[in-house]
Structure 1
Amino acid sequence: MMGDLLASRVGLDVVVTGKGVGAEVRGIDLRKLDDQQFADLHQAWLDNLVLLVRDQALSDADLIAFSRRFGDLDLAPIQETGRRFVEGLPELYVVSNVVEGGVPIGSLGNGEAVWHTDMSYVEVPPQASALYALEVPPTGGNTSFIDMYAVYEALPDDLQARIAGRRVKHDGTYNSGGFLRQGVTPSDDPRKAPGSLHPLVYTHPETRRPALYLGRRRNAYIDGLDLAESEALLDELWDHVDGDRFGWSHHWRKGDLVLWDNRCTMHRRDAFDPAARRVMHRTQIKGTGRPA
């Protein structure tokens, strides 16, 4: 019923997952959207936070062109191997465990990637990420998403009051796979680690809804508290990050594109067999300002 109502409202075949977040948009070719279809897709994305579109046949240029309809694109971050991008396509970030000629073609390997928000360690994080599946393992490697509006709304009133106006450091030492970022010297003290301070409660610039903005747990620090107080409060907040209640886990197929709102979601990845190949190409849409 909810999916039918949404589909009639935005003029697309939008089917909600029935889980804590996300929807699938069916029967479209992302290379051929007219302006009205794109506007409807954009609204469905704001409504559902994460969109899945299956059975796409996108070249790298197609993926970049579709992503640019949302805004300017970030350059891909430097991978832990020191490689930045696909030759000639600096906007593309390769997420892969594949090794060719002794050199990894991408980043993050085959292990678990913990809950995180993409590149929240920079002052102006990306507003969105699009991930497109070129090769997927037969099992494992699922990506889960969580609705951080809902996590914030479910916090007890006293906990909401305690974090109001506070800022949290989003660490830039390690990526979501636990790998040390290229050129970064690690620190055992989160107060001294590289990163950016952002509000714990972030108001989405388009929907105007508040969301809990955690980034990732490792090396996080709540500004103005001593380290023990910060650790205790962060642990308390992370206890409310319930992927079963507020999330959805996506089982990938080749040709899947998933677009998520980086401002109000977190995501994570399951580990998979290191002997299996997984190749994904990702773009990031630039943020429009510092989280506020």
Structure 2
Amino acid sequence: MIVTVTVNAAIDKSYFVDRLEPGTVSRVPDIRAIPGGKGINVARVAHLLGEPVIATGFLGGHNGRFIRTELDRQGITNDFVAIEGESRVCLNIIERGSGRSTELLEQGPATGQEDWSRLRDKIRQLARGASVVAFSGSLPQGAAPDAYASLMEAARAEGARVFLDTSGDALAAGVAASPDFIKPNETEVERLLGRPLGPESELHASIRRLMEDGIGCVTVSLGAGGSLAGIGGELYRVTVPRITPVNTVGCGDSFVAGMAAAVRRGLSMEDSLRLASACGTANALTRDAGTVDPAQVEELLPQIRIDRL
């Protein structure tokens, strides 16, 4: 079982327009609205890959009911903690010709200590027998920076591996709890280290340092250039095929889902990176964030190149 945790869930609404001109009226001929938030994206992709998955986290208000109803319709098992307030809407405006994306992200509802206590109990229950518990996305209002660290400890106490995909203070505090997997970008690595990175060799050294601090797998996204990954003390360069992206939102979440699926399947390090990268690339070929076509994932797998550095 894979458990995903989304503490700041959203309705992901995509507007597909011919061209976005700031300060003018734009007609929207095509609209998509799906359950979102990074952890929900992870759950959806894992489900599409055929993995048993359950999504949890916080949901509130009318938007929360929409999210729950749509997850049920998609066949994604979910068990969220209900909170006061309204779950957020995240708007992505995509120009159909250029593919250029503009995102507007609401902050989301505030949370209290009682909410976090109930979620911790929920995670402890769901983590029993789970292969992976993946924590993804930003923290909501009222959350302490170490909120993820506390939840990860609860999941690990039940024997699950813990993944963390967040940023800023939440990432810095979470890293101190030594998750089994993190996926920062170069800017986030710089913030973790407290200094800018120079040559790529410094990024290599930074990944090795994070592994030495107890993090089993560190992957750093390089966008269209693939990624650098450190697993079990070894460093790898991952090269992905060139594609014409349709929608890049959710590619990182799809990568996380592929890695979680790989852990559950017991794949080798290199095959884990290959599956995760194929999922991230396949997401960019779809209109919806956090969605892959399993057939495309299979087609992409042999096109992913893994080189040990």
- TM bucket (normalised to shorter chain) is under 0.3
- Higher percent of residues as helix: 2
TM-score by length of 1: 0.27
TM-score by length of 2: 0.26
